[in-house]
Each structure stands twice: as C-alpha cells, then as structure tokens.
Structure 1
Amino acid sequence: MVDSETTNDQENDTHYQLGQDNVQVMGLDIHNPVFAISAVVIVAFVVISLLFQESAGAFFGWLRPTMTNTFDWVLLSSANLFVLFSLLLIVTPLGKVRLGGKEARPDYSYAGWFAMLFAAGMGIGLMFFGVSEPLSHYGSSFGGTAMENGVRTDWAPLGGAAGNVDDARQLAMAATIFHWGLHPWAIYAIVALALAFFSYNRGLPLTLRSAFQPILGDRVWGWPGHVIDILGVFATLFGLATSLGLGAEQALAGLNFLFGVPVTGTMKVVLILGITGVALISVVAGLEAGVKRLSEINMVLAIGLLAFIFLLGPTGFIVSGFFENIGAYLREIVPLSNPFGREDQNFMQGWTAFYWAWWISWAPFVGMFIARVSKGRTVREFITCVLIIPTVVSIFWMSTFGGAAIDQVVTMGNEAVSSAAQPVKLFEMVKAFPLTEVLSFVGIVLVIVFFVTSSDSGSLVIDGITAGGKIDAPVVQRVFWAIFEGLIAIALLLGGGLGALQAAAVATGVPFTFVLLGMMVAIFMGLRKEYKMYS
C-alpha cells in the first residue's frame, strides 16, 4: 500500500520543479503570467469604463439579460449537481477523510470559524435582500399553480392579492430561501473543499489550479493552470464588486434616511473610497487582527439586530413562519430547481440565474477563504457546517426580516415598505420599531463592516492566486488588489448602476461554472484515493 506522506512528497516535488516561477518586481511577488495578465486587464477595464461611461452602461444593459437568457439552464443544472454531490459526501465513507491528515486539528474554535464563514459568505447580501426579496416575491403576480399528478408544473410565487395570503407568503419565502439556502452554500463548499483537500492533504499550493492536478497532471503548472487561475481572479474581483456596489447603495440609502446625505454618484464614490480605505487598514493588520476580529464584531452586531427584530417584532408569527418556511422550501425546492420547461422566465432568469452566477463568481473568494480557516475538519464535518448550518441560519434570518416586513404589509397596511426602492426597504421596515434611529445606524454599520471584511478577505484570496498559492505574499500586493476592488465597484456603478454590477457578476460566473464542474470530479478522485490509503 502506498503511504500518503510519500505520495504527498512526490506531488510536492512535482510542484516545486514546475511551478516555482515567481519573480519579485517593485515589492510584488508575481506569479507569471497570472498577475501580469490579470492586472493589465483589470486596469484597462477600470480606465475604459470610467472614460466611456455611457457606452459602458449600454453594454452592461445588454450583457446581463443576454447571458442569463442563454445560459440559465447551465447555471441551474450545475447548481443542482453541486447540492447533490455535497449531500452525498456527508453520508458516504469519504466523509471520514480529515483535511490535513489524520492527526490534523482545527486552528479555530467553532465560534470563530462560523463568524468568518458567515461574514465572508453572504453578509452584505442578507442585509440588502433580507427585506426586499421576500416582499418582491410576495408582491408579484406570476402564473398560477398548475398541478399534474399532485406535482406543481409551473411553480411561481403568487401576489398577495392573487391568492390566499398564507400561501402567497409561504411561496414568497420558499423562493427567497431557495436563493439563500443549500444551493449557494454547496457552490462555496465545492471550491473550498477542493482547495483545502489538495493543499492540506496533497501539499499543493493553495490556489485554484491545484484542484485540477488529478485531471491535468503536470499540465496544471502550465497554461491550462494559468487560465484557471486568471478566470478565478476575474470572477472574484467582479463578484466582489457586485457585493461592494450593493453595500454602497444600501449604506448610502441608510445615511440618507438618517442624516439626509444626498444619494448621488459622487457620494457613492466617496463612500466606496472611504470604506476601501478602512479595508486597507484591515488588510495591513492581517488575517488574525483584521478579518477575524472584524468578523466577530460583525457577528455580534448581526445577532443583536436579529434578536431585536425577533423579540420586538411579531415573534409568534416569525417562529411559526420559520418552521412553515422550512416546509415550504423543502416542498418547493424541486420545482424551483427545474431548469427546463419553465413558464416563469422572470423568476428563472431575472432572479435565479443571476443569483447562481453571482454565487459562482463569489466562489473562488469565499471558497479559498473558507479553505484557509478549515484545516483539521473532517470532510463530513466540513460539508455539514458549511452547507447545513448556514442554510438554517439564512432561513431564520429571512424568516425574521422578511416575515416582519410581510406582516407589516398584511396587518398594518404598510405600503411604504413594499413600494420603497430595494436599498431602502430595510430602513422603512425598522420605522415600525422603537429606537428606529439606533437600528438604522446598526444596519449601516453592519453593511460597512461586511463591506470591509469582504474587501479584506477578497484581497487575501486574489493575492494568493496571483502569487502562485503563497499565503505570505507581500502586503503591498494585497493593498494593490484591495484598491482595485473598490475602483471596479466605482467603475460599474458609474457605468450602469446596479444593472452593470449584476451583468459583471453573470459574465464572470458563467465561464467559472465549468471550472466548478471540473473541481467536483477532482474532489471525488482525490477523496477516493485518500480513503483507500487510510483504510
């Protein structure tokens, strides 16, 4: 039987013979040609978008619907495969494999680990869509609920006025949870597990190309690997830019709500620059003093805001809704996931295809960050914690914020919260609570700190990819990427607003879908080999 350490040493030797082509230039640890190509393209994109804002806006306005209309079935089918594969890993013997080897132990407590997982995973999104998406689905009036042999054939959320209020609420919440539950976290889990396993168990560098070593062999250190890493850089940057842009929109809406700060393009730029400056301080501080500490602060604030809304809102309604929403989600997940023969094209392309592309574009960033903090966990523990627990927390978050907002519309006739623009809905909802100003301020701070942790941890990830998987690359390199994350968000906001942000996420998420499919195959190959060596 082949010893696992011998195998790891052989693969390490292969890497060091073929992959050590980093060079030092002006304090940057450059992994040619990944850094050079990525940096040149990103700088050119920012300059062109800022110089030709009107043309850029028209292009992005065309890009998103074209991509989602063409590739919606690819995105939905792939996301379904990621969920099924992740669940199978939990129940099969492959789940016994430990990341880092049999003797490895976790570097972080469960509390610290969960805080970093959640802050990196979808913090800004939950703040932005926690109120707005349930209300959007509840207030829509898609098709009916045709049945065939007891199964829905054209699922679509019902408008509040189009049918039974309870049914409409449950369907709206099921649709929302579908976008924030198992599917996005399975996407993250695939990338994170691939990176963690091939880095900690095979001794390969912590970069995207390493996951393809079982498939590509030595070619992974050549141009095929360069292309994979470059795609990962682009996906990460534009996925982050989408989130940072959404965060800036909501933070500015909150500042306008509280202090009358004008909502202008100039103020958005100032806000992004200011928050990027804070992120740079965190980048320089490092993982322990920067991201970890900010993530824990964010977790405390998020739990506090959640508890306040839960306890002072319609608590009984939220509790009963939580369990009803889980049931509705499980009942509707199959028809919601169907990528073919759908009549509700707006829901499928306007919502689901965009979300899946967004999550996939985020996957290199979130996956690599999760991998860096997950050494010592078994595969079963890893998948359970990354997939199941965040899904339950997301359901409770959406049930609390979305449930409270829907209750205000139904029982209080609060039309302001339902008619407000997406970035403002959260602040309109908290008007019905005591300490409105305090809650709104906490909401703004949460968005900003989520912004900072996303930018900070995203810089660490891109830094690692462009430095060939090194985790101790020069700080100046992380600073470079943190600055350009902010500049991309500015360029997209000025060159088309939210539509441009979403178009960029879709355009990078679609090609990276095929990278994730390859990772899924590589994970199976690697875990099967590892399990045989351990048994």
Structure 2
Amino acid sequence: MSKKRVRSDEKTFLGIKANGPVFITSFLIIATLVSTTLIVGEPMEEWFSKTQTYVSNKVGWFFILLVNSLLIFALFLCFGKFSKIKIGGPDAKPDFTNVGWFSMLFSAGMGIGLLFWSVAEPIYHFNSNPFLRGQPDNPVLAAKSAMGITFLHWGVHAWALYAIIGLALAFFTFNKKLPLTIRSIFHPLLGHRIHGPIGDAIDIISVIATLFGLATSLGLGVQQVNAGLNYLFEIPDSTGIQVTLIIIITGFATLSLVLGIDKGIRMISEWNMRIALFMLVFLLFTGPTLFLLKSFVQNIGHYAYEFFEVSFWTNSYRGVETNSSSNWQNTWTVFYWAWWISWSPFVGIFIARISKGRTIREFILGVLLVPTLLTFLWISVFGGSAIYQELIGNTAITDAVKTNVATAIYYMYEQYSFTFLASTITVILVVTFFVTSSDSGSFVVDILTSGGRHDAPKGQKIFWASMEGLVAAILLVGGGLTALQTASILTGVPFSIIIIVMCFSFYKSLEDYHDSEERRIRKTRQKTLQQNE
C-alpha cells in the first residue's frame, strides 16, 4: 500500500498563518461564553454554582475512574515493551538539560495553584473532611488525613495525566512527523481525516479547555497577588484591583512569549525554580525544622498506605445513606480532576515541545517522580508549617482561611520570622508563576490555532495572551472562584472523552512503531552477520 504524505494544517487566515476554522470558531465560542457572563451579571453566579454541583454529581465518578486508569496506563508504558522507544528516533538528543527540563515542567504543571493551596488546603482538610467523621476531636488523625488528601490532589494522578498526553503528542510530532496538535494523536484511527472538520473539532475543544483551565489558575493567582499587596501595603482587595493586576501581568507574559522559549519562558521558569527553592529552604529553617522533616517522611508513607482507598473513593455508600451526593468531594477531588483535565492540553503540548530525545521510560519517570516529589516536599513544608500551628493551639491561619483563603500563606508567615521579606518574595513568585503559566499557555494555544506551527506570528501570540487575561478577568467579575471552578469542570467533560479515544489511538501507533523498529533491527543484524561472514 502506498503511503500518502502527511501534510501540515498550516493555512493562511486573515493574513496570518493559522488554521481558520480552529482560530475563528474557538474565538467565537469563548467570546460568546465570556460575553454572556458579563452581560447577564449577578444571576450568572447562581447558575455557575448550580451547574458545578449538577455536573459534579453526574460525572464525578467518571473523572475518578479516568485519572486512575491513566496512571495505570502510564506505568504500563514506562515498564512495558515500549519503554525504550526514544522520542524523535534512535539518534535524537535532548534540546534542554535536565535542570531546564524539570524547571519548565514544574512551572507549567503546577505553579500558581500550588502556591495558592499549599497552606490553605491542608488547613481546610484539617478542620473538615469526610474521612474524619466519627472522630472530630483527634488532631493527630486530622493532621495525617489533611496532608494525605492534599498529596492525593497534587500527586501522581495529575502528573500521569500530563505524562500521557505529553508523551503521545511528542511521539506523533517527533517520531511520526505530524503537526504538534491534539488531532495528530488520532491519525491511526482517522487517517487523513484529521486534517478536516473532525480534526478541527478536536483542536477547538482543546483550545477552549486550555483557555478555561488557564483562566482558573490565573484567577487564583491574581487573587493571591492582591491579597499579598493588601497584607503588605494595604492596597484594597477588590475585583477592580484584580482585573488591573491581570492586565499588567498579562503584559509581562506577552513580552516573555514574544521573546520565545529560550529567552523568555525557559529563563523565567528557571528563575521561578530558584526563588521557589529559596523560599522552601527559608521556611524549612525558620519554621519547625525537625517537625517538617519528620512529617515529610510520614506524609509519603501515609499517602502510600491509603493510596488505593482514597484514589478510588467516590462516597457512594454515604451518598445512598444520606440520599445526597458529597459536596466536599465535588468541591475538592472532582474539581481537581476536572481542572487537571482541562489544563492537560496546555501542559501536554508544552511538555511534548521540550521533551525530544528522551526515552518513554525516562519521560514517564521524569514527569511522574521529580515534580511529584518536589510538590510533596513543598506541601509538607508550607502546609506542615500551618498544621504545626494548629497542633499547638494557634488558630490564626484557620481564621485567615475562613476570612479570605488567598491570605492564608501570608498569615502563616506571620507565625514565624522575617514576615515582610517572605511575603514580598511570595508576591513576586506568584507574579512570575503567573507570567510563565500565561506565556506557556499562549504558546500552546498559538500552536493549536496555527495548525501545529512552533513559530506563530507575534501578533497571534499577543492576541491569545490577551484573550487568556480577558477570560480570567471576566470570570472573576462574573462569578469569582465558583465561576472559575465551573469553567474547568465544564471544559473537562468533553476533553475527557477525547483523552480516552486518544489512548487507544496512541497504543495502536506504538504497537506499529515497535514492530517496525523490531523488523529494522533484525534486518540490520542479519546484514551485519552476512557482511562478517
């Protein structure tokens, strides 16, 4: 059978090199959604709340099953027969050092969200979670449970999701020579139909999921920046200030994006890591050092011990008993899985772009283990410092969380030394994470809307960076945190279906590639033996 040449989806649209159907349809859908939020106004807040509850109740179990299945699939790829396949082919070399690679992974994958929740989330779970029912006055159990749940939400499940999508994209881009877009992964199933309306629909869903997933992180980040400025300089904590901050920081992100990966994104990501590691060491030694080190070890053990139970927990029996669904699980676990799913096109494409030259095993282990361990250490130090105050009877951080969750990290610093310095550096760190998330996300959306181009025009980069800031700002105005969470959950549903089909397509292509490589190796060996004889 003759092979047809795989063509790119790059086209000229309104004078720029873009895929018109993906570009214009994505823009119109996003513009319609955010305009409706702005025009309808206050009633949208109630709609966001009801929609979030309804969708979470109906599909929460599906998200839980999906992320666990993806983790199993990732381990299968890591230790199975495909593990030695190299991204880019046998002779490919990595474009970035391990330090640069890990820095960009961590900054793109977690960043703002981890800064926002690393103190507040353990405090939330310490005071209330469904695993403590029947034992409300056991602070030791509450502390272990709080850290275990937080580890679940920020651990290997999220990174397995990113790893699968990133690996599939990298394989189809560098090994199969297809455009760096989500549609390319479906080539084994759809053939050249990926270049038509079906492929456009896949990329449109990916763009929308990416934009709203990013908007959630950017919205959380700007709330924390505003809270820090209010705490340090008494700048008003208001939606108007937050919108202004989004405009200013989006401008910096656009500049970083225009400079490119090497001069902009990579440089800022590495500085993010330096500042973050400084803050980690700073708090480790100014806080209850021995307690934090001991709890880090115990937290990992507790997470591993209860891993399967909490990973597959769906609150099914208690839901029947009370004739209701778990609002706690909808607010936390289901939201997190939906958020990571909607965030995954962005992280997946970005990881794929920077991961050429690594074997599947190196890729999976690198993406799963290194960021996860760094995340666990971060949560143990920051969340552990907050939990320590609760254990000694100081409820100041709990009071702050109840008043304004974005202030939790600053009130935690207040319980230790050098409060002003730590708070100032944290505000800077949130801003730089905001910049890397925004510029990396814009880079990915540019790729999707330009048919897989890695060098989209500057005007297009500026356009999508501005759109990300606009979406985050309008959702904050139209519904606050609930609107951001609802946007992530709604966009996570259709993309989760794409992920399932994508896994089958990826496996099929790996089988064909592996068999082809085996035949090539056998032929090479036979030829060598014949020459030696």
User: For this structure pair, what is the TM-score category when the shorter chain's length is used for normalisation?
Assistant: over 0.9
TM alignment of 1:185-200, pairs within 5 A: 185-200=159-174
Residue 463 of structure 1, CA deviation? 0.4
Determine the C-alpha separation between the residues in 2 that align with 1:227 and 1:493: 28
Letter in 2 for 1:499: T
Determine the C-alpha separation between the residues in 2 that align with 1:311 and 1:343: 42
1:233 to 190, 199, 207: 207
Determine the C-alpha separation between the residues in 1 that align with 2:106 and 2:293: 22
2:7 to 12, 15, 22: 15
- Alpha carbons 2:64, 2:312 under 8 Å: kept: yes
- Alpha carbons 1:124, 1:451 under 8 Å: kept: yes
Q: What are the superposed Cα offsets for residues 413-457 of structure 1, whole Å, 9 maximum, x if unpaired? A: 221101212111100000022211010011111111110101101
**What residue is the counterpart of 2:284 in the other structure?**
310
Letter in 2 for 1:343: R
**What residue is the counterpart of 1:414 in the other structure?**
394
Residue 34 of structure 1, CA deviation? 0.6
Determine the C-alpha separation between the residues in 2 that align with 1:518 and 1:534: 25
- Alpha carbons 1:209, 1:228 under 8 Å: kept: yes
**What residue is the counterpart of 2:521 in the other structure?**
none
TM alignment of 1:137-152, pairs within 5 A: 137-140=125-128, 142=130
- Alpha carbons 1:189, 1:383 under 8 Å: kept: yes
Q: How has the CA–CA distance of structure 1 residues 483 and 342 changed in structure 2, closer, same or farther, with 3 Å as cutoff?
A: farther
Residue 330 of structure 1, CA deviation? 1.1
- Secondary structure of the corresponding residue to residue 14 of structure 1: coil
- Alpha carbons 1:157, 1:172 under 8 Å: kept: no
**What residue is the counterpart of 1:112 in the other structure?**
100
Residue 164 in structure 1 maps to residue 138 in structure 2: yes
- Alpha carbons 1:77, 1:339 under 8 Å: kept: no
2:46 to 45, 54, 58: 58
Residue 133 in structure 1 maps to residue 121 in structure 2: yes
Q: What are the superposed Cα offsets for residues 360-415 of structure 1, whole Å, 9 maximum, x if unpaired? A: 0000001100000000000000000001221111111111111110001112x221
1:371 to 352, 368, 373: 352
Letter in 2 for 1:117: L
Letter in 2 for 1:123: G
Residue 277 of structure 1, CA deviation? 1.0
Q: What are the superposed Cα offsets for residues 65-85 of structure 1, whole Å, 9 maximum, x if unpaired? A: 111111001100000100111
**What residue is the counterpart of 1:181 in the other structure?**
155
**What residue is the counterpart of 1:150 in the other structure?**
none
1:445 to 428, 432, 435: 428
**What residue is the counterpart of 1:276 in the other structure?**
250
**What residue is the counterpart of 1:98 in the other structure?**
86
Determine the C-alpha separation between the residues in 1 that align with 2:366 and 2:318: 35
- Secondary structure of the corresponding residue to residue 96 of structure 1: coil
Q: What are the superposed Cα offsets for residues 247-272 of structure 1, whole Å, 9 maximum, x if unpaired? A: 01111000000000101121111111
Residue 295 in structure 1 maps to residue 269 in structure 2: yes
TM alignment of 1:42-81, pairs within 5 A: 42-81=30-69
Letter in 1 for 2:356: K
Determine the C-alpha separation between the residues in 2 that align with 1:294 and 1:267: 25
Determine the C-alpha separation between the residues in 2 that align with 1:469 and 1:524: 22
Letter in 1 for 2:318: E
Letter in 1 for 2:6: T
**What residue is the counterpart of 2:362 in the other structure?**
381
- Alpha carbons 2:102, 2:370 under 8 Å: kept: no
Determine the C-alpha separation between the residues in 1 that align with 2:129 and 2:466: 42
2:330 to 349, 353, 357: 349
Residue 510 in structure 1 maps to residue 490 in structure 2: no
- Secondary structure of the corresponding residue to residue 94 of structure 1: coil
Residue 399 in structure 1 maps to residue 380 in structure 2: yes
Residue 220 of structure 1, CA deviation? 1.4
Residue 163 of structure 1, CA deviation? 4.3
Determine the C-alpha separation between the residues in 1 that align with 2:494 and 2:338: 9
Letter in 1 for 2:102: F
Q: Indicate the percent of aligned positions where both proteins have the same amino acid.
A: 44
Letter in 1 for 2:159: W
TM alignment of 1:319-330, pairs within 5 A: 319-330=293-304
1:39 to 23, 27, 33: 27
- Alpha carbons 2:13, 2:19 under 8 Å: kept: no
1:335 to 304, 309, 326: 309
- Secondary structure of the corresponding residue to residue 346 of structure 2: helix
Residue 29 of structure 1, CA deviation? 2.0
The worse-fitting range, judged by mean Cα deviation, of 62-71 and 375-384 is 62-71
- Alpha carbons 1:194, 1:522 under 8 Å: kept: no
- Alpha carbons 1:195, 1:211 under 8 Å: kept: yes
Residue 342 of structure 1, CA deviation? 4.8
Q: What are the superposed Cα offsets for residues 33-65 of structure 1, whole Å, 9 maximum, x if unpaired? A: 111101122223333322222232232122211
Determine the C-alpha separation between the residues in 2 that align with 1:342 and 1:376: 48
Determine the C-alpha separation between the residues in 2 that align with 1:141 and 1:470: 46
Determine the C-alpha separation between the residues in 2 that align with 1:169 and 1:335: 18
Letter in 2 for 1:352: T
CA RMSD of aligned residues (A): 1.6
- Alpha carbons 1:29, 1:477 under 8 Å: kept: no
**What residue is the counterpart of 1:145 in the other structure?**
none
- Secondary structure of the corresponding residue to residue 260 of structure 2: helix
Residue 14 of structure 1, CA deviation? 3.0
Unaligned runs of 5+ in 2: 320-325, 519-533
Letter in 2 for 1:43: A
Determine the C-alpha separation between the residues in 2 that align with 1:505 and 1:129: 17
**What residue is the counterpart of 2:530 in the other structure?**
none
Residue 423 in structure 1 maps to residue 406 in structure 2: yes
- Alpha carbons 1:29, 1:474 under 8 Å: kept: yes
- Alpha carbons 2:129, 2:328 under 8 Å: kept: no
- Alpha carbons 1:138, 1:158 under 8 Å: kept: no
What's the TM-score once normalised by structure 1's chain length?
A: 0.92
Determine the C-alpha separation between the residues in 1 that align with 2:129 and 2:512: 51
Q: What are the superposed Cα offsets for residues 324-353 of structure 1, whole Å, 9 maximum, x if unpaired? A: 111111111211122542537234222111
The worse-fitting range, judged by mean Cα deviation, of 324-333 and 299-308 is 324-333
Residue 214 of structure 1, CA deviation? 0.9
- Alpha carbons 1:99, 1:377 under 8 Å: kept: yes
Letter in 2 for 1:434: S
Residue 216 of structure 1, CA deviation? 1.5
Q: How has the CA–CA distance of structure 1 residues 525 and 141 changed in structure 2, closer, same or farther, with 3 Å as cutoff?
A: closer
What's the TM-score once normalised by structure 2's chain length?
A: 0.93
Determine the C-alpha separation between the residues in 2 that align with 1:502 and 1:176: 17
**What residue is the counterpart of 1:148 in the other structure?**
none
Residue 165 of structure 1, CA deviation? 2.6
Letter in 1 for 2:24: A
Letter in 1 for 2:12: V
Determine the C-alpha separation between the residues in 2 that align with 1:72 and 1:63: 13
Residue 25 in structure 1 maps to residue 18 in structure 2: no
Q: What are the superposed Cα offsets for residues 88-118 of structure 1, whole Å, 9 maximum, x if unpaired? A: 1111121100000000010000000000000
Residue 495 in structure 1 maps to residue 478 in structure 2: yes
Determine the C-alpha separation between the residues in 2 that align with 1:505 and 1:227: 19
Determine the C-alpha separation between the residues in 1 that align with 2:245 and 2:41: 19
Letter in 2 for 1:278: F
Determine the C-alpha separation between the residues in 2 that align with 1:299 and 1:158: 39
